[in-house]
Amino acid sequence: MADPMAMRRAVAGYVEGIHGAYLEQASTFPPAVQGRLPLLAAGRFTVAAVGARNLHVLATTETLGPPRGQEVELSGTLEGLEWTLRFYDPVVVPALGLIDESEGPASEQVRGALGIATVVYHVVTQPGSGLTAHHAGHVGSGLASAHSAAARDFERLRDRARGREALVDEMEGAAVAGLPRAQVLLARAIRPHDAAVGEAVDASLRPGATPDPDGVRKVLLAGFTQEPA
């Protein structure tokens, strides 16, 4: 897709497709669960479409400042959601041209080049061929389901981690903000003497490993579940 405007329209349609599928899946959850879903709770946010070797589409509640130079901005709304779509490539942000994705997506480096610390979601796809309505639907419904599962897990943790509810709140806040290592470290703080939790945390934070906050959360919850009544 050589036409830059055509590519931007395709990305905008892809983003709207993600949000539409997210809303459709969210509508099947109880109202209070819907209210805790990060995208719905955000209400208004920014989506950055970042062109490196891969196309990174990430939503953040952080303010990215006014568009400058060759930056392009589009607006979108859908059933209570309101977002601004910003486009970045090595011409706009030269640091993106230094990122090596020859061995796979470099999500953290992409966020770092934009100075983004927290994300609501971060999707990586291929420009052009990956921007289908079908793919957007799968991504959106999957995100809503994952966010719902996390919200329910945190509710169970709050109920069982008596006296440590504040730490659970922090862990959920880190999940909403897209901070995987913070979630993992808070799991250890919530159950510091649980060997299974410690092993899961160590594995997730091992050099070269990709943090697995969802897996660590499941181990944390299982520890409370297995305690005698």
First to last CA, the chain: 60
CA pair distance 110, 150, nearest whole angstrom = 25
pLDDT for the residue 33: 84
| 146-164 tens-digit pLDDT | 999 888 899 899 999 999 9
Most confident of 51-55, 66-70, 192-196, 207-211: 192-196
Predicted TM-score (pTM) of the model is 0.81
Strands 121-125 and 81-88: unpaired
Domain spans in the chain, listed from the N-terminal domain onward: 4-145, 161-225
Q: Which residue has the tokens 């859908």?
A: 78
Residue type, 52: A
Half-sphere exposure of 195 (CA within 13 A, CB side): 0
| 68-112 tens-digit pLDDT | 877 889 999 998 899 999 999 998 999 999 999 988 889 989 999
Q: Is the pLDDT of residue 56 over 80?
A: yes
Helix or strand holding residue 46 (H, E)? strand 44-51
CB 161 within 8 A of CB 168: yes
Q: Is the pLDDT of residue 18 over 70?
A: yes
